[in-house]
Amino acid sequence: MGTTSIAELWDRVVGGQPAPPGWLVWVTAAVALAGVVPHGVWRVTRNAVTIAHEGGHALVALVCGRRLQGIRLHSDTSGLTVSRGKPYGAGMVCTAAAGYTAPPLLGLAGAGLLATGHITALLWGAVALLLAMLVMIRNAYGALAVVVAGGAFFLVSWLTGPAVQAGFGYLVVWFLLVGGVRPVFELQGKRRRRASGDSDPDQLARLTRIPAGGWLLCFHAVALCALLLGGRLLLGV
């Protein structure tokens, strides 16, 4: 690939794109909501939230200096990220807290990119993150899920025009924002039925002096604030 081609590719990735029409933003929001609210649909689409959830654990573990050993994604939309390091301290707390906060915060970051017209950068950034995550996947279903997700982002970014890229980008970000809210309510319901097992809030309660309910409240606050702020960015209000 020549210097000119590399420069053109770089301009394509980091350059700004025109804002989509307002109706497209609202339509993608409605489609994202339809992918989260119905229980039958959510059983499938929740896989995307699980990828973001476990990716959040993995990324923060690495940032905190822990050694990432592997990630597993399961067909029941559960997941597991294993890292090695001190079983206590700030690094472990941040790693445990990153799961439920990752999808809404990724959605908020994506909303910031879309609000500034960086649609292609959003798509290619997602491809890069998914490729990095694929290296650490340790089961076949997880590898398949990540490959399918990464392939979708790559194909849309490489083969489609600005309108389709914008629709896909807005749909993904809306889904992360809306889909980041529901898992916290589901976890709260499981805890009420005492069926949550060794959940992230339970681990955090053992690591800190904050009870599990306090961590649930924190997760609720992050998800709802991200939805509010991200929605305002996407709608331009």
Share above pLDDT 90 across residues of the chain, in percent, rounded to a whole number: 81
**pLDDT digits 0-9 by tens, 65-77:** 999 999 999 999 9
**Gyration radius of the chain over CA positions:** 18
Cα–Cα distance, 73 to 89 (Å, whole number): 26
**pLDDT digits 0-9 by tens, 199-209:** 899 999 999 98
Cβ distance 191 to 201 under 8 Å? yes
The per-residue pLDDT for 99 is: 95
**pLDDT digits 0-9 by tens, 139-177:** 999 999 999 999 999 999 989 999 999 999 999 999 999
**pLDDT digits 0-9 by tens, 196-233:** 668 899 999 999 989 999 999 999 999 999 999 999 99
Cβ distance 64 to 90 under 8 Å? yes
The per-residue pLDDT for 194 is: 72
Structure tokens at 202: 């339970």
Cβ distance 144 to 152 under 8 Å? no
The per-residue pLDDT for 7 is: 59
**pLDDT digits 0-9 by tens, 3-59:** 556 656 555 666 667 778 999 999 999 999 999 999 999 999 999 999 999 999 999
For the entire predicted model, the pTM comes to 0.91
Q: What is the mean pLDDT of residues 123-138?
A: 95
Q: What is the DSSP string of the chain?
A: --HHHHHHHHHHHHS--PPPPHHHHHHHHHHHHHTTSSHHHHHHHHHHHHHHHHHHHHHHHHHTTPEEEEEEE-TTS-EEEEEES-SSSHHHHHHHHHHHHHHHHHHHHHHHHHHTT-HHHHHHHHHHHHHHHHHTB-SHHHHHHHHHHHHHHHHHHHHS-HHHHHHHHHHHHHHHHHHTTHHHHHHHHHHHTT---S-HHHHHHHHSSS-HHHHHHHHHHHHHHHHHHHHHHHHT-
According to DSSP, the β-strands at 67-73 and 79-84 are: antiparallel
Side chain identity at 188, as an amino acid letter? Q
